[in-house]
Amino acid sequence: MKVYVMDAFTDRVFGGNQAGVVLADKVLEPGVMQQVAAELKHSETVFVEQGEDGLHLRYFTPAGEVDLCGHATVATFALLRRLGRIGDGTHTAHTWAGKLDIGVSGETVWMDMAPPKTLGVLPQESWAELYGTYGLTLADRPEGLEPEIVSTGLADIMMPVTDHETLMRAKQNEETVTALSKHFDVTGVHMFCLGEDKVYCSNFAPLYDIPEECATGTSNGALTYYLYERGLVEPEKENLFLQGEHMGRPSRIYSRLTAEDGAVRVRIGGQAVLSLSGEMDL
């Protein structure tokens, strides 16, 4: 079977977030997919199967299966376009998070997120522990923005901080963040601060053996909805998220939100480039 490594949410090799993409020539058991993901050691590896109703995608971290992964999805469709298997237009992806429309336009891939959901504000008594696990205090939380659990396919804690300097000096205690993630039943923590024309962010998911991730589509989809609920994102406007700076793998993730007849839809967009390819015999 063919195995590829794609750098997603970037237009150059060694930027963005790496994802394994496996185009299997036979049906693989979940246990085998898990072993392959552990062997490749990327934050996520996606397994692609062509069905009569479209493409079926399953996502594995080195530690376990997840319902959806934005950067791996962008990587998949950018790769398939590069290989000539799909063209520009709208394509269907079937995932455990639901059926998604994927738009391909030149070098850019746009993907629907699962319907956005606010799953609750963190209890105020847990805020100090959350900020403390990054070496921060409640003084580093901007007034009027609370830690909140939001999902557009995967649930994350949205964690606002005051400015870029605070974001860059945050240091994670992996054991505590893992415990908090289990307690609140989330994938991880998405820390962010507002810039003039962009949002800076860092993503942490040690529960899934991902200490930090340099580009996360689902988390920035959730953040788009979080900011929209507070009047900080306008419908139809393109939003830019910068992630992965201090990891040395800068990423650019775009989002668009629409709101029609009470239904909110979030799309995430970006590019991806091929960095490695090979074969695996199973």
The residues annotated with a catalytic role in the active site are: 44
Residues facing residue 87 across a β-bridge: none
Which residues, at least 6 apart from 264, have a Cβ–Cβ distance to it below 8 Å? 115, 116, 225, 228, 257, 258
Residue with tokens 């991806």: 272
Output the DSSP codes for the chain.
Answer: -EEEEEEES-SSTTSSEEEEEEE-SS---HHHHHHHHHHH--S-EEEEEEETTEEEEEEE-SS-EES--HHHHHHHHHHHHHTTS--SEEEEEEETTEEEEEEEETTEEEEEPPPPEEEEEPPGGGHHHHHHTTT--GGGSPTT---EEEESSSEEEEEE-S-HHHHHH----HHHHHHHHHHHT-SEEEEEEE-SSSEEEEEEEGGGTEEEES--HHHHHHHHHHHHHTT-S-TT-EEEEEE-GGGT--EEEEEEEEEETTEEEEEEEE-EEEEEEEE---
Q: Smallest Cα–Cα separation from 162: which of 211, 206, 200, 125?
A: 200
